[in-house]
Amino acid sequence: MKKKLSVIGLVIIFSTYILMISTFFNAYMHEDKETIVAINDYGEANIELIIILITIPICIYHFILTIEKNLNIEKKLLIIGLIIGIFLFFIINNFI
């Protein structure tokens, strides 16, 4: 079970990274360095939200498992760090 979740987490992380890169290059290639991301052209926003909400815990689980295995960091300390990081992300994101 752990191996399956790990593989799913890796695929999701890699896919998200590819999507982020393609969005960046799409914006970069335009003259004004901007792009519009439409998330509901075909009525898919609700399904995408469900997929994201389901896959976030899998990605976090994989991240914790990888860090714990490779860096020997306590799980409790890692979870606290993730919570602080997510909190700071939302604070910074609201001010930009």
Residues in the chain, how many?
96
Residue 59 belongs to what domain range? 2-95
The tally of domains found in the chain comes to: 1
Angle at 47 between CA 43 and CA 41, to 5 degrees: 25
Q: Tens of pLDDT along 83-93?
A: 787 777 777 76
Which tokens sit at 81? 């760090």
Q: Tens of pLDDT along 34-77?
A: 888 888 889 888 988 888 888 888 877 777 777 777 776 677 77
Q: How confident is the model at residue 95 (pLDDT cuts 50, 70, 90)?
A: low
